[in-house]
Amino acid sequence: MSTAKVRQGSLQIVDQKKIISRGSLYVAQARLTAMMKWVWMILAIAVANPVLYLLSIGVGVGAFIDKSAGPAGIDGVKYLTFLAPALLATAAIQGAIDESVFPTLEGFNWWKNFFGMNATPISGNQIAAGVFLASLVRVVGTVVIYWFVMLAFGALESSKAWLAIPTAVMAG
């Protein structure tokens, strides 16, 4: 048995080639597993954020702006329709920041997870890619929920409004 191929420790056989080729997926899996501890909070924020913002700014402030601009809005676009995509992109950016900054601080300062990961065959690039992939999963979930709330508020008037989803994900 070659040590380059298989390594034994802690009563477990580790396939280094598999770890080297899929290291970022393992890091993402670890991050997503950690996220499951507060999944209800993530879902509550993903729903409450658009509802509160669209109610207060989109509907509340929008009523004043639409009233002064007329029933057609400004250049035929209602304020809520104008504002909603920006709020969608903002939610994506905020979710991406939350899921990349805090895990980085956790990995280097608080729990020092990244030092343990780096002691394995997982490289620093794979750790960074894994954190990015986990962040991407959260951003996609947040954006899709936000988009459906926008749909419920009537903020999406175009048949191509679904294109806001990949655009916001790329922004995040």
Please, what is the end-to-end C-alpha distance for the chain in angstroms?
A: 46
HSE-CB at 138 with a 13 A cutoff on CA atoms is 33
Gap between the Cα atoms of 27 and 50, Å rounded? 30
- Percent of the chain topping pLDDT 90: 72
The pair of three-digit structure tokens given for residue 43, joined into one six-digit string: 């879902």
Q: What is the pLDDT of residues 118-139, one digit of tens each?
A: 888 899 999 999 999 999 999 9
pLDDT: which is higher, 75 or 105: 105
7 near 13, Cβ under 8 Å? yes
Gap between the Cα atoms of 15 and 93, Å rounded? 36
Strands of the chain (E only): list them. 6-9, 12-15
Give the mean model confidence (pLDDT) for residues 76-88.
92
What Å distances lie between residue 61 and 15, 78, 91, 103, CA to CA? 58, 11, 19, 36
Give the mean model confidence (pLDDT) for residues 72-100.
91
Domain ranges of the chain: 24-171
pTM to 2 decimal places: 0.86
